[in-house]
Amino acid sequence: MKYLKYYTILITIVSLFNACQSDDSNSEKDFNTDPVENLNKVIETQNSEGYNLAFYSSEKDIQTGSNILIATITKNNKVVIATDLQLSITMYMSSHGHNMSHGAPVTQLTTTKHKGFYEGFIFPTMASNGTSDYWVLRLTATVDKQTVVFESNIEVKQSKDKTITSFNYQDLNYTVALISPKTPKIGLNSSSALLFTTEDHETFKIVDSHTIHIDPRMPSMKNHGSPNNINLTQAVSQGFYTGQLSLTMSGYWKINLMIENSHGTIIKGNPITEEQESSDIYFELEF
Amino acid sequence: MAKRIRLAYLCSVLALPLWAQSIQNDSIQELQEIILISNTKNNTPNNPIASIENYLKQAKSIDMIQRGNYAWEPTLNSMATERISLTIDGMHIFNACTDKMDPITSYVETSNLQQASIQSGQQGNHYGPTLGGSIDLQTRRPNFTTSPQWEGNLNLGYETNNQLKTAGIILQYTSPKWYFQTQTTLRDAGNYKAGNRQEILYSQYTKTNASGVLGYSISPNKTLETQVIYDKATDVGYPALPMDVSLAEALITSIRYEVKPLFSFIDNWETKLYYNTITHRMDDTKRPPETIAIHMDMPGWSNTYGLYSSIKSTQKNHHLSGTINSYYNKSLAEMTMYPNNPNEKEMFMYTWPDVHTQYTGINLQDHWEIDKEKSLQITASMGVHANQIKNQIALESLQIFYPDMNNSKTRLLGSAAVNYIIKKSNWNYGVGTALGNRAPSVSEGYGFYLFNSSEQFDYIGNPNLKNEISSEINAFLSYTSPTLSSRLSGSFFHIQHYIIGNIIPELSAMTIGAKGVKQYNNLTYAQLATLNWSNTYKINNQWRFNINIRYNYGEDNDKNHLPFISPLSYGSSITYTKNKLQTSLELQANSTHNSNAQVYGEQRTPSYAILNWNINHSWSVYRNTMTIHCGVSNIFDKYYTTYSDWNSIPRTGRNLSINLQYSW
């Protein structure tokens, strides 16, 4: 028994050692290998100057809600360095008989540890519908000291779970989008979200200093709730709202939301009570 | 054993209903109560139709929590499964049901068993930690015989109340080198009827039990024995609970090696290796759909590997024994719920997080006969108890409540007890004191939303619980003469860190319909006491009269009553024996349960008294024996419920039983 114990400790130490080693080699590898090796190319477009723009995602397609994308610009199959990247997405709708358009939130592309690869989120608020309702992604960038523009129609699928929702408060339109967990687990999930506002439905700004209250509930279980959630707050200005989402079991969860502004006013949502089983804004997660 | 039990017939014996006998001899045996289940003479079950629970509840300090007509949960000194040591031939077996629907007594049959050995308090620490005491069910095993011989027993039984049909067969071969015994018992029962012929729906059950034991005499002092018990219950209704059971299955196996004597100074050295596995499946498909809020599957598994090795030695007037005892148990239970909306995914959780429990301990006992009158019984034990959660998902679900909890926890357990006994002509008396602790059970430490349908609360385990520590004092006084036996005995337990559920108002219930969530926590302390007085008066050679009375007490540190503490209970019987005929009339009663644990959601129950009558007779048929047992329990068909009936489910009404046995 005693020897077994020492043996176990020894094994643990050896495996820890191994783990460290492999970690090191991994990070070295990261710089040398293709950063999009295991990702799916979800958008690809070329402009008239012969520059090629590609977006990669760990998902097979772009869905409503948060999508984290890796972008890269190439010319003649060589990655080029871009600066001043400006990303936007716009929905063009004609299915209701008259043409209209509106934007959706994005985060601007930032550099990654791989030269020439940029990372950012887009948050389409609705699914595209063939040629009548479609999203256009626009990117302008400075490449080889000249400004290049890309435009591409993108197909957005309805995500299984509702993870983005919008509301109005005092002439402003707000959008709140769940970023994580993407694949929830039973237990405590670290959770993040972003809160945007817009005046013109075209340019969206991250809202600072609010609090996103979360109350996960299971409607199929008489609104069973899961304890020890931590409401989502910002650590830094213009950063993600982060907190902790607790899920006691697998299944369908409604994450009821309340948005509180910096003055402590609830600007949207309501607490869950016996009579009020749902907030008027919520996310959904099913796993 | 038979020799040692020197029939200081304590009369509780005679008071007992049915046909079991409880025998107690003096000195060391004063501290032990034996419920005989099989007749030692011809090695056949006394009354195979009676369930094991019916035998056990005749012990002075045992009660049964009933959730239906099957698998009653024994309590000893008002303490249930987690506070007592329940073993079968010293083997640890742990139930697989999170809702206590399968106490391990439900996995054996009366025809498996020779007797039950009951020890109160820390005297029961022989096979591991306990607070309330120990119940060791000892299986029947043949002995080697000088010439080869075959024996057998066939029995058939019927009870009118629930159309219980039983059938059993025992076959036995014994020789100088080998013994072999096999047993099969079948039981099938419909719904029982409470008093006033009220049918209790979902109280049916079907059970099959088979066992085999094979012994080989390696040399005159060395025996090797292997034993297998298989038990399978299907379609078991639990009328007091929201769910039934579709399957409760156990396989219990062991190999035993015994040397007696070894050298000149060891009387007996016994070593056993064992393994048992239990599968338990709850089922709600037989209930009317409108009563089922949500359909769910709740299976549970419990596997235990273990061993013990025990040495007994006599050194002058010291009877010494030393036992090493170790087991490894894996308990896993899960719940899958099927939403009424078929498009939604099913909901899944671990209710027992694959807890692996390892215990290794040593127990030492000395029974010191100081002189002819005085003796001292000293026991001490120490062990290491370790829990480890092996399932990561389950660990993370518990970390919702305990973010910093580790996947393992080790506890040091120990106990010591001293009893001083004096015999003076017709009088025996003794006092004892003890100290011991126990680790929380799997449910108490790691349960996840376990629904208690009596309190209507979901329970959350608490890995940070402290060990319960019991300080105990006990005493007895007995008088035995050829005509009168009387015994007064009592125990008092002061249990520090008593584990019980507290309501956590901010938590939301999981089970539909539950009032809220309770978390297991340590009280500062709780105190329990039990006092028994039993008397037998032998009127003449034919007639015996017995009366007994028992008082129990249990309060927490805020003077709240604890749940499942019996009100004043009493019983009386008169027995007539002549030749091979025996008949007895028995009264069994409880006073009103006024000290119900309101704080813990317990209901008051009214007083009751019922009358039972039974008769048995045996004949010699050629060289074989035919025995008939008949009985009527609850003669006046009284509708009643007691403090230990889950959700106040009423007990069985009038019941006629008949059992025929043929032994050869």
How many angstroms separate the CA atoms of B13 and B10, rounded?
Answer: 6
Query: What was the pLDDT predicted at B14?
Result: 29
pLDDT score, position A131? 86
- The runs of H, that is alpha helices, within B429-495 are 442-446
Contacts A8 to B, Cβ<8 Å: none
Closest-CA residue in chain B for A244? B400
C-alpha–C-alpha distance, residues B6 and A107, integer Å:
89
CB–CB contact B512 A286 (8 Å): no
Q: Regarding beta strands A224-225 and A211-218, do their DSSP bridges make them parallel or antiparallel, or are they unpaired? A: antiparallel
Mind listing the pLDDT tens digit for each residue in B304-314?
999 999 999 99
Edge to edge, the sheet with strand B113-120 lists B21-23, B32-36, B113-120, B133-139, B84-88, B91-92
Q: Which residues of B touch A214 (CB under 8 A)?
A: none
CB contact under 8 A, A251 and B345: yes
Sort out which chain B residues have CB atoms less than 8 A from A228's CB and list them.
400-401, 403
B527 in a structural domain: yes
- In terms of pLDDT, which residue wins out, A23 or B475? B475
**Residue B59 lies inside a defined structural domain of this protein:** yes
Cβ contacts of B383 on chain A, cutoff 8 Å: none
Domain extent at residue B183: 12-404+414-663
- Chain A, residues 110-129, CB within 8 A of chain B, namely none
pLDDT in tens, A45-73: 998 889 999 999 999 999 999 999 999 99
The total of structural domains in chain B comes to 1
Q: What is the pLDDT of residue B646?
A: 93
Is B409 within the bounds of a domain?
no
Tens-place pLDDT, residues B252-300: 999 999 998 888 889 999 999 999 999 999 999 999 998 898 999 999 9
The CA distance from A185 to the nearest CA of chain B, in Å, is 8
Q: What angle do CA B102, B104, B108 make, to 5 degrees?
A: 110
Q: What does the pLDDT average to over B504-525?
A: 94
- Rounded percentage of chain B residues whose pLDDT exceeds 90: 84
- Which of the four pLDDT bands, split at 50, 70 and 90, describes residue B60? confident
pLDDT of res. B16: 34
More confident residue, B357 or B1: B357
Looking at residues A148-170, what average pLDDT do you find? 94
In a domain, B604, yes or no: yes
Q: Please, which pLDDT band fits residue B333 given cuts at 50, 70 and 90?
A: very high
Q: How far is CA A159 from CA A88, A250, B224, in A?
A: 20, 18, 66
Q: Of A185, A188, A218, which is closest to B403 when you measure between CB atoms?
A: A188
Residue B7 in domain = no
Residue B333 in contact with partner chain A when CB distance is under 8 A: no
On whether any CB of chain B is under 8 Å from the CB of A230, the answer is no
Distances (CA, A) of A248 to A187, B328, B465, B487, B515: 6, 28, 21, 54, 18
The answer, for B449 touching chain A at a CB cutoff of 8 Å, is yes
Q: Is the ipTM of this complex over 0.95?
A: no
Q: Is there a cis peptide before residue A35, judged by omega within 30 degrees of 0? A: no
Work out the minimum CA distance from B521 to partner chain A, whole angstroms. 18
Q: Say if residue A251's pLDDT is above 60.
A: yes
The residues in B 217-276 lying below 8 A from A, measured between CB atoms, are none
Pair B566, B64: CB distance under 8 Å: no
Q: Which residues of chain B neighbour A222 with C-beta distances below 8 Å?
A: 293, 509, 512-513
> Alpha carbon of B340 to those of A36, B246, B363, B536, B596: distances in Å?
42, 22, 54, 61, 38
Return d(Cα A34, Cα A43) in angstroms, integer: 18
Decide: B320 and B314 in contact? Cβ < 8 Å.
yes
Interface contact A186-B339, CB threshold 8 A: no
Query: Where does the pLDDT of residue B9 fall: very low under 50, low under 70, confident under 90, or very high at 90 and above?
Result: very low
Q: What is the band of A202 on the pLDDT scale with cuts at 50, 70, 90? A: confident
Q: Is the pLDDT of residue A265 over 90?
A: yes
Confidence category of residue B149, pLDDT binned at 50, 70, 90: very high
Mean pLDDT estimate for chain B: 92
Is a pLDDT exceeding 50 seen at residue A1? no
Interface touch B509/A251, C-beta < 8 Å: no
How far does A229 lie from chain B, in Å, by closest CA? 9
Distances (CA, A) of A191 to A178, A210, A281, B67, B161: 8, 16, 17, 43, 59
Check residue A6 and give its pLDDT. 52
Residues A104-117, mean pLDDT to the nearest whole number = 93
Chain A residue numbers with beta carbons less than 8 Å from the beta carbon of B353 are none
Torsion of CA A212, A218, A222, A225, to 10 degrees: -50
Instruction: Based on DSSP, count helices (H) and strands (E) in chain A, helices before strands.
Output: 1, 23
Is B6 within a domain? no
Q: Which sign does the torsion angle of CA A5, B256, B214, B210 carry?
A: negative
Domains of chain A by start residue, with CATH: 40-157 (2.60.40.10), 164-286 (2.60.40)
CB pairs under 8 A between A and B: 82
Rounded to a whole number of angstroms, the distance from the CA of B283 to the nearest CA of chain A is: 18
Give the pLDDT score at B111: 87
Sheet containing A146-154: give its strands across.
Answer: A100-104, A82-93, A133-143, A146-154
Residue B506 touches partner A, C-beta closer than 8 Å: yes
Say yes or no: B370 contacts chain A, CB-CB below 8 A: no
pLDDT tens for residues B230-253? 999 999 999 999 999 999 999 999
Confidence of residue A31 (pLDDT cuts 50, 70, 90): low
The b/e string for A203-216 (b: 16+ C-beta within 10 A; e otherwise) is: ebebbeebbbbbbb
Contact B508 A224 (CB under 8 A): yes
Domain CATH number, residue B275: 2.40.170.20
Is pLDDT of A19 > 70? Answer: no
In sequence order, what DSSP letters do the residues of A34-103 get, joined into one string? -TTTTSEEEEEEE-TTS-EEEEEESSSSEESS-EEEEEEEEETTEEE-EEEEEEEEEEEE-TTSS-EEEE
**pLDDT for res B58:** 86
A64 min Cα distance to partner chain B (Å): 20
**B346 and chain A: CB distance < 8 Å anywhere?**
yes
Beta carbons of B400 and A286 less than 8 Å apart:
no
- Residues of A with Cβ-Cβ distance to B294 under 8 angstroms: 220-221
Q: What confidence score (pLDDT) does residue B445 get?
A: 97
Q: Cβ B337–A186 below 8 Å, yes or no?
A: no
B606 in reach of chain A (CB within 8 A):
no
Query: CA of B468 to nearest chain A CA: how many angstroms apart?
Result: 28
Of residues B6 and B511, more confidently modeled:
B511
Residue A77 CB coordination number (10 Å): 6
For an interface test with B, the pick among A250, A256, A273 (most B C-beta atoms closer than 10 Å) comes out as A250
Contact between A147 and A90 under an 8 Å Cβ cutoff? The reply is: no
With a cut of 80, say whether residue A7 has pLDDT above it.
no
B350: nearest CA partner in chain A: A249
Q: Which residue of B has its CA nearest to A251?
A: B347
Which residues in chain A have their CB less than 8 angstroms from residue B341's CB? 220
Which among B510, B512, B515 is the top mutation candidate for probing chain A, defined by the most A β-carbons within 10 Å of its own β-carbon? B510
Which residues, numbered 378 to 407 in chain B, qualify as contacts with chain A under a Cβ-Cβ cut-off of 8 Å?
A: 393, 396-397, 399-401, 403
Contact B426, B480 (CB under 8 A): yes
Contact A220 B339 (CB under 8 A): yes
Out of A187, A224, A250, closest to residue B348 by CB: A250
Q: Give yes or no for A11 touching B (CB within 8 A).
A: no
Which residues in chain A are contacts of B401 at CB distance < 8 A? Answer: 227-228
For residue B636, which amino acid is it?
Answer: F
Side-chain-side CA neighbours of A82 within 13 Å: the count stands at 30
Mean pLDDT for the stretch of residues A194-201: 92
